[in-house]
């Protein structure tokens, strides 16, 4: 029997809550589990769900995917938090999907932060993650 994992599939700032705890500091909580699912790592998902600007390339291209789509969304969230901009722009859904699948984020926009943060964002937004 395989261990089942969980995918949120709609990570975005609106689905994160922060709470300050005197003992533990800041606690981040996920909300809105409407698209979340259990999954078997040996059986990739195919139902494309999520919010356009936070979707991984495999979702935009209707390819099979796994929990790495949540890692991608985390990279988008970090990029937005640091720059105030989306890493992939476009007005129409098709333009956004095209940018996600074919372009690279402008990492110079996040210069001035730690190299570790830049490395994390780059690792999360890795289109070749397998």
Alpha helices (H) in 1-130, listed in sequence order: 57-60, 68-83, 93-102, 115-124
C-alpha 60/C-alpha 115 separation (Å) is: 29
Over residues 66-97, the pLDDT tens digits come to: 989 999 999 999 999 999 999 999 999 999 99
pLDDT at position 1, please?
Answer: 46
Residue 4 has pLDDT above 90, yes or no: no
C-alpha 116/C-alpha 38 separation (Å) is: 31
Q: DSSP label at 42?
A: T
Q: What is the mean pLDDT of the chain?
A: 90
Using pLDDT thresholds of 50, 70 and 90, give the confidence band for residue 2: low
Residue 10 is among the residues annotated as catalytic for this protein:
yes
pTM above 0.75, yes or no: yes
Over residues 28-39, the pLDDT tens digits come to: 999 999 999 988
C-alpha 111/C-alpha 77 separation (Å) is: 16
Catalytic-labelled residue, pool 10, 40, 70, 95: 10
């Amino acid at each position: 029997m395989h261990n089942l994992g969980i995918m949120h599939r709609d990570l975005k700032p609106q689905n994160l809550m922060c709470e300050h705890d005197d003992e533990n500091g800041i606690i981040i909580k996920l909300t809105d589990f409407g698209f979340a699912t259990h999954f078997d790592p040996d059986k990739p998902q195919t139902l494309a769900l999520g919010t356009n600007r936070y979707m991984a390339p495999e979702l935009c291209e209707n390819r099979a995917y796994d929990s790495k789509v949540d890692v991608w969304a985390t990279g988008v969230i970090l990029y937005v938090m640091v720059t105030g901009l989306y890493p992939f722009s476009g007005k129409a859904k098709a333009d956004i999907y095209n940018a996600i699948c074919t372009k690279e984020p402008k990492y110079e926009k996040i210069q001035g932060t730690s190299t570790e943060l830049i490395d994390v964002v780059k690792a999360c937004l890795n289109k070749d993650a397998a």
